[in-house]
Amino acid sequence: MAAVLMSAVASEQSVNTGGAAFVTTQWSVVLAAQGQSPAADEALEKLCRTYWWPLYGFVRRSSYNPEEAQDLTQGFFALLLERRDLDVVRKEKGRLRSYLLVSLKNFLAKARRREMAIKRGEGRALVPLDELLARERADLEPADNLTADRIYERRWALTLLEQVLTRLQCEYQSAGNAKLFDDLKELLSDEPDRKSQAQIAAELGMTENAVKQAFHRLRQRYRELLRGEIAQTVAVPGDVEDELRHFISVLQT
């Protein structure tokens, strides 16, 4: 499904980008604060939740066992939320994705396992450990063939896809169209046994053209939500398009 969703973005990436206003984002709030503030702390903590799983994957691939990786990732975020180094941000052009990976590499390079690993249950665990372990057990990604950097990038992209689909599903459910969403979501899949638009139309009592239009609207809304999610992690307007291109390249390779 990731490949199909990625193509949905790539095929019409330039749509509605020229004159769009760039609003204040969570990451720009963090950068503008130049220090700690309730708004900046809340924005950074919310953004960090997205990166828990990708960064944990990087640490795991860096020769740490699950418990060590959990402790180090938790310790990294606890330190990050307490003390931010905005000089690193400027070097990485204000992109949260790059900033966090560079910061994590610095953290691991300086960390001694006995001194820096935070004990289980301490610090600010942004993601429940049972959720983390469940995701690791369900992860079918061929990690043996991927570098730590590559695992981080792949999980970053896949996490964004998950978040966008979850938001999209909530919107359809709120509008009373949960069944329509479930059927249209199948069309995003590249599975050979997926339903056709004609089958969906027959099941829902719609015309095939109506299903086609509904699917077009879903894809369009998906692109809007994805762009919005990525916009939250950059500091300047021009970086949104660069991050979208990077997102597409990650899923293509």
The domain segmentation of the chain, as residue ranges, is: 24-252
Query: HEC profile for 50-104?
Result: HHHHHHHHHHHHCCCCHHHHHHHHHHHHHHHHHCCCHHHHHHCCCCHHHHHHHHH
Could you read off the pLDDT tens digit of each residue along the chain, which spans 253 residues? 555 555 555 544 443 444 333 345 667 667 665 566 777 777 777 777 788 889 999 999 988 888 888 888 888 887 777 776 655 665 556 688 888 898 899 888 887 654 554 554 455 555 555 555 555 555 545 456 789 999 999 999 988 888 899 999 999 999 999 999 999 998 887 777 888 999 999 999 999 999 999 999 999 999 999 998 888 888 777 788 888 899 989 988 7
DSSP 8-state class, residue 195: P
Q: Which pLDDT score is estimated for 240?
A: 86
Q: Which pLDDT score is estimated for 127?
A: 56
C-alpha span between 49 and 26 (Å, rounded): 13
Q: Which pLDDT score is estimated for 210?
A: 96
Contact 181, 218 (CB under 8 A): yes
Classify residue 237 by burial, with Cβ atoms within 10 Å: 0-12, 13-18, 19+: middle
Q: Which pLDDT score is estimated for 51?
A: 87
Q: Which pLDDT score is estimated for 132?
A: 55
Q: Which pLDDT score is estimated for 19?
A: 37
DSSP-based helix, strand, coil % in the chain, nearest 5: 70, 0, 30
Contact 200, 183 (CB under 8 A): yes
Contact 160, 229 (CB under 8 A): yes
Q: How many CB atoms lie within 10 A of CB 95?
A: 20
What does the angle CA 3 – CA 92 – CA 67 come to, to the nearest 5 degrees? 70
Q: Which pLDDT score is estimated for 216?
A: 95
Contact 225, 9 (CB under 8 A): no
- HSE-up (13 A, CA, CB side) for residue 172: 22
- Helix (H) or strand (E) holding 251, with range, is helix 238-252
